Amino acid sequence: YGLEGKTKFVGYVSNPKLFLETLNIFVAPSHEEAFGINVCEAMERGLAVVASGVGGIREIIRDQIDGILCKPGDSLDLSQALASLLESQETRRILGKNARDRIVENFQRKTCVKSHQIL
């Protein structure tokens, strides 16, 4: 898929916030996901995110606005999304900014508490 040398697979990370600071793109190729807190953490850091369109991730990411949603289990779709972000720093910047804005406006604790109080 042309991603050799451009990707890194990591296991357990003891300090995820510090680790996220080292990334350009965050990838979450899940088959199932209840909410996607890892996706929210990456978006809050302003990273361009590529994720499978499963579970709560579909509620968090607006495809091509603040991230890219891929078909679950489709490695070609995933690799094409990654390749498009690797080719365009500007697209990464825009998606990352939009992602951060979305999390700040909709998913931070204060915002969620206010929404629940209104209900």
Distance, CA of 84 to CA of 57 (rounded, Å): 20
Number of helices (H) and strands (E), helices first, in the chain? 6, 3
Percent of the chain at pLDDT above 70?
88
Strand 68-70 relative to strand 25-28, pairing: unpaired
Distance, CA of 84 to CA of 118 (rounded, Å): 40
Region 24-39: what's the mean pLDDT? 91
**Domains of the chain, first to last:** 16-118 (3.40.50.2000)
Q: Is the pLDDT of residue 113 over 60?
A: no
Tens digit of each residue's pLDDT (9 = 90 or more) over 55-101: 999 999 999 999 999 999 999 999 999 999 999 999 999 999 999 99
Q: Is the pLDDT of residue 18 over 70?
A: yes
pTM above 0.75, yes or no: yes
